[in-house]
């Protein structure tokens, strides 16, 4: 046994809790180590002095006064406890909130007319209005952001209008679906689906 291993055993011995094989091992070490014997004697002297010291009388009510002067124990918030127990879910929730905040700011800031589609030759742009003239056919999907769509001709595909409107003449024919997105959450959902579709390609 080394001296650093004997030191905690000495404290346990002085407390009266050292028994069995540990007591035998400490005794063997003390027989062979003069410095540890000396240290144990010093510990015993200190303990004897502590026990010999007179015990002063504690004034009545002191304990109660001390306990009353302590600050009240703060109750832990159940929300904070949930966060501590579920760190991954907490990080994911913060991430979603940050992403939604950035998408919302993009929704409010973006006001430029954007037109996307596979066949834009038959489309006429007048200011912030995208016109499909009568007698013309757009082969494929048409997406317009921050503008209006006036359909007088044919569209062989879907129309998606973000933050705008769709007007159709009686001569118009659309073979797909017309989707108007004018709320930030709908726009967010559309962008996420679009992003997922681009990844899967």
Tens of pLDDT, residue by residue over 139-197, are 989 988 888 999 999 999 998 888 888 988 888 888 888 888 776 556 666 667 777 77
- The whole model's pTM is what? 0.40
Q: DSSP characters for the chain?
A: --HHHHHHHHHHHHTT---THHHHHHHHHHHH-HHHHHHHHHHHHHHHHHHHS--PPPPTTHHHHHHHHSPPPPPPPHHHHHHHH-HHHHHHHHHHHHHHHHHHHHHHH--S-EEEES--TT-EEETTEEEE-TT-EEES-EEEESSEEEESSEEES-EEEESSEEEE-TT-EESS-EEEE-SHHHHHHHHHHHHHHHHH-
Q: What's the mean pLDDT in 101-114?
A: 68
pLDDT at 10: 86
Taking alpha carbons only, the member of 193, 200, 125 closest to residue 160 is 193
Q: What's the pLDDT at 20?
A: 84
Judged against a pLDDT cut of 60, whether residue 107 lies above it is answered with no
| Residue 32, pLDDT above cutoff 80 | yes
pLDDT greater than 60 at residue 67 = yes
Contacts of 111 (CB under 8 A, 6+ apart): 146
Over range 126-143, report the average pLDDT: 90
CA distance 111 to 126: 16
Task: Give the pLDDT confidence of 142-157 residue by residue, as tens digits.
Answer: 988 888 999 999 999 9
Q: Specify the higher pLDDT residue, 130 or 50.
A: 130
pLDDT beyond 60 at 108: no
């Amino acid at each position: 046994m080394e001296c650093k291993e004997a030191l905690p055993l000495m404290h346990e011995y002085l407390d009266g809790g050292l028994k069995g094989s540990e007591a035998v091992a400490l005794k063997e070490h003390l027989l062979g180590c003069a410095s540890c014997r000396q240290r144990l004697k010093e510990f015993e002297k200190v303990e004897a002095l502590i026990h010999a010291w007179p015990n002063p009388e504690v004034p009545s009510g002191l304990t109660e006064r001390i306990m009353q002067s302590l600050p009240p124990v703060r109750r832990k918030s159940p929300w904070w406890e949930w966060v501590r127990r579920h760190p991954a879910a907490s990080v994911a929730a913060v991430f979603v909130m940050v992403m939604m905040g950035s998408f919302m700011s993009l929704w409010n800031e973006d006001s430029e007319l954007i037109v996307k589609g596979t066949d834009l030759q038959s489309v006429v742009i007048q200011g912030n209005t995208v016109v499909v003239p009568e007698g013309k056919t757009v082969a494929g999907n048409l997406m317009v952001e921050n503008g209006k769509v006036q359909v007088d001709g044919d569209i062989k595909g879907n129309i998606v209008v973000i933050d705008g409107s769709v007007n159709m003449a009686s001569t118009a024919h659309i073979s797909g679906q017309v989707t108007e997105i004018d709320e930030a959450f709908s726009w967010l959902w559309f962008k996420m689906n679009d992003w997922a579709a681009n990844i899967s390609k």
